[in-house]
A = this chain, B = another copy of it.
Amino acid sequence: MLGPCSPAQEAAMTFSPPTTAPLDALPATPDYDAWPIEVAIQHVSHTPRQVEVRWEDGRVSRYHSIWLRENAADDSTVNPATRERILDLSRLGAWPTVSEARLDDAGALEIVFAPEQRRLRFHPGWLRAHDYANLDTPEAPLVPTTLWKGSERDAPTTLDAHDWLSADDDPLAPDACLESALEAVIGEGLVRLRNLPTDPGSLDAIARRIGPPRTTNFGTLFDVRAKPDPDSNAYTSIALPPHVDLPTREYQPGLQLLHCLENDTVGGDAVMMDGFAVAEALRERHPEHFATLTRVRWCYANTARTTDHVWFDPMIKLDANGHFDEVRIADFLRGPLMAPFEDVEPAYAALMALQRLLREPEFALRFSYAPGDMVIFDNRRLLHARDAFDVGQGGRRWLQGCYLERDEARSRLRMLRRAHRRQCVDALAHG
């Protein structure tokens, strides 16, 4: 969790612009965010196509003229009402270049662009935060991914969420519990909240603290309990092997929330494991099987009575940077493999190596649900399983579930961090 101000931000409170002209005289930054000025600009130089900025801490940043021109915040570039871009670069008539570049009296970068001869100013806090020339990883994750094994921990990260529904609705209001929950979900793929209300349907409001639930052919909120005439193995009392939900969908749901309303059954413990950790173990022990599962496209199918979803994808997917993106593991939702003939036996050999790994006890984290508990987990990463449970002695087990997308969690966490930056900017203004 971020503190209200980082040490660099605290230090920035002593920053004074070269003159007394107020920084808020700058044009708005091109978004709704607030960018604390942690370090001031010391010196500016330029060529027609690049501007070099030297900061007071010694860092040197370089920006392309065309990048600067497109990211200006004035009314010729951004619609002031919506903060959305209205500039079309290809209508400028020529590649935008820099005629003049200087540090202005307020500490901002001021540039005159050709061919327009337009004078535009750039906020130093925003420039520093978007210093693309010095970034190791331009797409640094909000929270780093931490792989884990169930054998290394006693329980999921667990938070007391008794005031989850009474928290301030303002998306910029601080909320330590929500922030910690989102960080755990993004970093570890799993968090458990306790002491939530147990009213049926309250999950909708609980979920909307993050974002709107995703409706599927199972509805918006779904009930997980044994029921007659089941349309999914989930709705029986049989054991379920480790799986993700809805790998049959092109857009596999990103987050799953399972909210326990009642549970006095015998058995039926939750079993969760980190699918990325299992995939990493497969890569280490059987690199050829790992490669097969990142390449061969399995068929995921749910040919049900009212819908017919089919999707082809590898069982393990890496993103453009080679990091784990998602797994699609759910034996009971696979249709017939329709791969090139010579891929079929290697694919099944790899599948069985994975199935054997999934049974190793080191990966699984086992815990029970008490009424008022809720887990939020990354459905494209975590595998969940369930022991068979016994409803024969009158025991009842009722979970309600819903789906959200991963990026709703990221958006919500960015809002909470934006709130911290606003606090710092306010502290600077009144410090």
Contacts and interface: CB of A to CB of B under 8 A. Distances in A.
Most interface-central of A84, A212, A414 (chain B CB within 10 A): A84
Interface stretch (A11-19, A152-160, A297-305): A297-305
A62 to B, nearest CB: 7
A83 to B, nearest CB: 7
A79 interface: yes
A39 to B, nearest CB: 19
A310 B410 contact: yes
A356 interface: yes
Interface stretch (A85-93, A265-273, A284-292): A85-93
Most interface-central of A132, A135, A213, A235 (chain B CB within 10 A): A132
A81 interface: yes
A213 B215 contact: yes
Contacts of A332: 79, 82, 84-86
A216 interface: yes
Contacts of A232: 82, 84
A282 B83 CA distance: 30
Contacts of A88: 241, 331, 355
Nearest to A251: B251
Most interface-central of A82, A83, A171, A236 (chain B CB within 10 A): A82
Interface string A345-378: 1001001100110010000000000000000000
Interface string A8-38: 0000000000000000000000011100000
Contact of A85 (B320, B334, B407, B414): B334
B81 A229 contact: yes
A340 B405 CA distance: 28
Interface stretch (A64-72, A194-202, A391-399): A64-72
Copies of this protein, total: 2
A167 interface: no
A206 B234 CA distance: 30
A352 B359 CA distance: 53
Contacts of A135: 338
Given A230-B82, A406-B250, A341 B132 contact: yes
A431 interface: no
Contacts of A333: 84-85
A187 interface: no
Interface in A158-207: 171
A236 B79 CA distance: 10
Nearest to A79: B233
A186 B413 CA distance: 36
Nearest to A129: B336
Contact of A132 (B132, B235, B339, B356): B339
A333 to B, nearest CB: 7
Contacts of A211: 217, 307
A226 to B, nearest CB: 11
Q: In the A-B complex, list the 3 residue pairs whose CB atoms are closest, starting with the nearest.
A: A31-B303, A90-B355, A308-B414
Interface of A: 31-33, 49, 62, 64, 66-67, 70-71, 79, 81-91, 130, 132-133, 135, 138-139, 171, 211-217, 220, 229-233, 235-236, 238, 241, 249-251, 254, 297, 301, 303-312, 320, 331-341, 344-345, 348, 351-352, 355-356, 359, 405-407, 410-412, 414-415, 418
